[in-house]
Amino acid sequence: MSDAALLTIPEALRAAANGCARIDFHLEDGVQSRTAAEILDRARGRAATLVERGVQPGDMVGLVGSNRPEWVEWAYGIWLAGGALVPLPAPVRLRDREAYAEQVRSLASAMTCVLVVAEPKYQEALGPEGTLAWDEPSTGRLPTQEPPSLDSTAIVLCTSGSTSMPKGAVITHRAIAHRAGAHRAGAHRESSRAQATWELDGEVSWLPFFHTGGLLGIIIPIYHGVVAHTLPAARFARDPLSWFRVISEVGGTGTGAASSAWLVALRAAERTPEGIDLSTVKSARFSLEMIDPDVLDLCVTAGARFRLSPSALWSGYGMSEGTGISSTTPGEGIHIETLDLDALVSTQRAVLADKGLTKRVASCGRLGAGVELRIVDAAGDVLGDREVGEIVVRTDTMMRGYLGQADSGLTPDGWFATGDVGYLANGELFITGRVKEIIISRGHKYHPEDVERAAAGGLGVTQDRCVAFSKPDGEGEVVIVVEAVDGIDPATAPGVIRRAVGAAVGGLVMEVVVVTPDSIPRTPTGKMKRNEARHMLQAGTFDLAG
């Protein structure tokens, strides 16, 4: 795509202000709407306030708060002021205000933020120094200044930190513009215009704005001049069915979340099905974490009750550092392969099987436009089809590097090692795990998801209630932490888990720890933080059940 066809985020907002673009915020106390013209008008006032506070072009500005109109107004205000947005975490519950304040201050310092704009309830925790309440009235006028270029920093994304301390991925306006173009190209991949509406109009999302998926949900609609619907992550956390209710009320055409979120919402819909109608959904996306084939099956069976078409299901693969790597095609469904688990753990080859110990893996589809991808071994040598190794990518949407890091994370010719493990088969990408989370026992490599799925199945609970990882200082031993929910007996659960895991995965030496409900650390989108759980076990900070 030539530079002439690319717009910076402020240019996209100004262009959208002349059209029909709109974001509807489905809050606890009702719906608030903001047209692109209204966002532009309010963002100019926010930008003027930032300039009055000393923000200059190129400065990093932190933003923390719920999925509300104010968040969007301030985000676009930061861009209009020439600054770079640093989305900061806004947990649904502030259990430990001091620990949260320390986390955000540390992140803001590491990301070189000159100011942090905060929703009042979060500013109370952070304190007044270096912060600005987002209900601060805007009184000034935005002075004329040099607009950001395509190569200016637009966003610094704090990586999830599920296996390490977060780093700041520097994303340019050019990368965002390419991402917006990739959405348009994907929407027109099908010849039928009726199927070309996916993810461009009527998208419904509860993903927090500080997460990559949530942030794109308030940017892509502006680039394409369409209507999007959002609800607070806290509303989904309290009432998962609110997600499906909003889709039903507005006739949403597209939506997406992690397998764990789909599972929670589908279970809630089965209990209270009244008024749920998903027949308008043309794009039901699985992303953010490894796809659970069992949840896909549930989407087909339980989803039929709510008129969710199986053809609407699709999957995608991406990351904060380079969004939009691959996707399946809406309308074609998601291809699932059944693999020989013994071959996978012993030889790292994806061998198809229909008996014995097996593992099901869902396709993440084919590469998007402008994406190059390789599977490599530990030495960096490129592997062939069905050989399992680390995924490395090069793409137009790739970050410029990590903020303030001597190691940009990119090779001189632009390749990025994702840390994800997978394989290619007939041009489709399959993800099997994370490099840093692989459990090595007796020379075999196991993925924690397989252990967690088996443990949860044995106990009859959802997979997000179990987390597995290598035992600290225990070579070859795996620890399984399970939350005592749904009547789980801490005395008998270890035996049940050992038998279930042994039958499904094989002979692992394992320790089982039963903890109180909601003890396992998770990201705001529900992804388990295995490395943090490992450190909690080592530090003895888990609350044991029984």
Query: Mean pLDDT, to the nearest integer, of 475-494?
Result: 87
- pLDDT for 395-432, tens place per residue? 888 898 889 877 778 888 989 999 999 999 999 999 99
Conformational region of residue 491, where left means phi above 0, alpha means psi within -120 to 50, and beta covers everything else: alpha
Angle between helices 173-187 and 9-16 (to 10 degrees): 50
Confidence of residue 328 (pLDDT cuts 50, 70, 90): confident
- Look over the chain and give the mean of its residue pLDDT values, rounded to a whole number: 89
Higher pLDDT, 65 or 186: 65
- pLDDT for 58-111, tens place per residue? 999 999 999 999 999 999 999 999 999 999 999 888 878 898 999 899 999 999
- What does the alpha-carbon distance between residue 442 and residue 454 come to, in Å, rounded to a whole number? 20
| Per-domain residue ranges of the chain | 3-174, 239-317, 330-436, 438-539
Query: Mean pLDDT, to the nearest integer, of 166-189?
Result: 75
Specify the pTM: 0.86
- What does the alpha-carbon distance between residue 543 and residue 427 come to, in Å, rounded to a whole number? 46
- Please answer whether residues 69 and 34 qualify as being in contact, where contact means their C-beta atoms are separated by less than 8 angstroms: yes
- pLDDT for 192-250, tens place per residue? 333 343 445 799 999 999 999 999 999 999 999 999 999 999 999 999 999 999 999 99
Query: Mean pLDDT, to the nearest integer, of 33-61?
Result: 96
- Mapped onto helix, strand or coil, the DSSP state of residue 169 is strand
- pLDDT for 451-481, tens place per residue? 998 999 899 888 889 999 988 776 668 899 9
Higher pLDDT, 338 or 535: 338
Nearest to 61 by CA among 9, 129, 103, 112: 112
Residue 1's pLDDT is: 56
Residue 368's pLDDT is: 83
- Reported as type and span, the H/E element at residue 531 is helix 530-539
- What does the alpha-carbon distance between residue 126 and residue 97 come to, in Å, rounded to a whole number? 8
| DSSP 8-state assignment for residue 363 | B
- What does the alpha-carbon distance between residue 319 and residue 398 come to, in Å, rounded to a whole number? 9
Exposure letters 313-336 (e unless 16+ CB within 10 A, then b)? bbbbbbbbbbbbbbbbebbebbbe
Alpha helices in 251-333 (DSSP H): 259-271, 293-305
Confidence of residue 9 (pLDDT cuts 50, 70, 90): very high
Residues in Cβ contact with 106 at an 8 Å cutoff, skipping those fewer than 6 apart: none
For domain 330-436, the question of CATH label 2.30.38.10 is answered with: yes
The residues facing 86 across adjacent strands are 62
The residues facing 439 across adjacent strands are 446
Residue 191's pLDDT is: 33
- What does the alpha-carbon distance between residue 220 and residue 226 come to, in Å, rounded to a whole number? 9
- What does the alpha-carbon distance between residue 449 and residue 451 come to, in Å, rounded to a whole number? 5
Q: Is the pLDDT at 370 greater than 90, yes or no?
A: no
Nearest to 121 by CA among 100, 137, 144: 100
Longest dimension (CA), the chain: 70
- Please answer whether residues 60 and 198 qualify as being in contact, where contact means their C-beta atoms are separated by less than 8 angstroms: no
Q: Is the pLDDT at 386 greater than 70, yes or no?
A: yes
Other Cβ atoms closer than 10 A to 297:
12
Both tokens assigned to 18: 């002349």
Both tokens assigned to 437: 């989370």
Same fold flag, 3-174 and 239-317: yes
- pLDDT for 127-160, tens place per residue? 999 999 999 887 778 888 788 999 999 999 988 5
From the candidate CATH numbers 3.30.1330.10, 3.40.50.12780, 3.90.550.10, 3.40.30.10, the one assigned to the domain spanning 3-174: 3.40.50.12780
Q: What is the CATH number of domain 438-539?
A: 3.30.300.30
Residue 162's pLDDT is: 43
- What does the alpha-carbon distance between residue 324 and residue 186 come to, in Å, rounded to a whole number? 10
Residue 182's pLDDT is: 58
The topology (CATH level 3) of 239-317 is Rossmann fold (3.40.50)
Residue 2's pLDDT is: 66
- Look at the block and give the residue holding tokens 């589809």: 365
Q: What is the CA radius of gyration of the chain?
A: 23
- Look at the block and give the residue holding tokens 């084939």: 293
- Look at the block and give the residue holding tokens 């044995």: 458
